Amino acid sequence: MRAVSALVFLAVGVMVVLMYQAVHQELTLRGLKARALESSSQVKQKENDIVQVKMKIQKLNDELVPINTKRDELTKKKEQSAKAAGEADKSLKTCHTEKADAEKKKTDASAALQKVKDEQEAEKKKAQVEIQVLKQQILDRDKALCAFVDQTNEEGR
């Protein structure tokens, strides 16, 4: 009987251990199941957040399209303005060069005109001197002729 009671005691002990393990495993499984549900809920929440972020990104990208287009237009306008400014500078330099050439020609023409005027004035003075000399010669000749023809003068007779 002792063997039976030891066997019963041993069987009850094994059953208690097995029950303890079963209860322990059941509690562990419930905890794991609860954590799995919580993780699943968190994953769904994160997925929803990701979808919302993607939607916001798409919305921002849609808003960026006209801004990018406007930026491109402004860039083109800036390039055209820079090109126009370069052409204007080039035109201005050409104009300044032409102006300098015109000024030089004007200065040369003024100098040549002044030289001609000076030469003309010198020629005029020279001609006046020659005219005075010729007038004086004519006057002297006329005086000599009058003196020669004069009847009152003895030489004129």
| Sign of the CA dihedral with 63 first, then 64, 67, and 68 last | negative
Residues constituting the chain: 157
CA angle (70, 76, 80) in 5-degree steps:
140
pLDDT of res. 147: 75
Helices marked H in the chain = 2-149
Determine the Cα–Cα distance for residues 77 and 73; give it in Å rounded to an integer: 6
pLDDT of res. 150: 65
Decide: 148 and 156 in contact? Cβ < 8 Å: yes
pLDDT of res. 110: 95
pLDDT of res. 143: 85
HSE toward the beta carbon, residue 100, CA cutoff 13 A: 6
Phi, psi (rounded to 5 degrees) for 156: -75, -15
pLDDT of res. 145: 81
SS3 112: helix
pLDDT of res. 32: 96
pLDDT in tens, the chain (157 residues): 788 999 999 999 999 999 999 999 999 999 999 999 999 999 999 999 999 999 999 999 999 999 999 999 999 999 999 999 999 999 999 999 999 999 999 999 999 999 999 999 999 999 999 999 999 999 998 888 887 776 665 654 4
Question: 130: how many CB neighbours lie within 10 A of its CB?
Answer: 10
What's this model's pTM, rounded to 2 decimal places?
Answer: 0.44
Determine the Cα–Cα distance for residues 98 and 38; give it in Å rounded to an integer: 86
CA angle (75, 80, 81) in 5-degree steps:
95
Q: What is the DSSP string of 120-150?
A: HHHHHHHHHHHHHHHHHHHHHHHHHHHHHH-
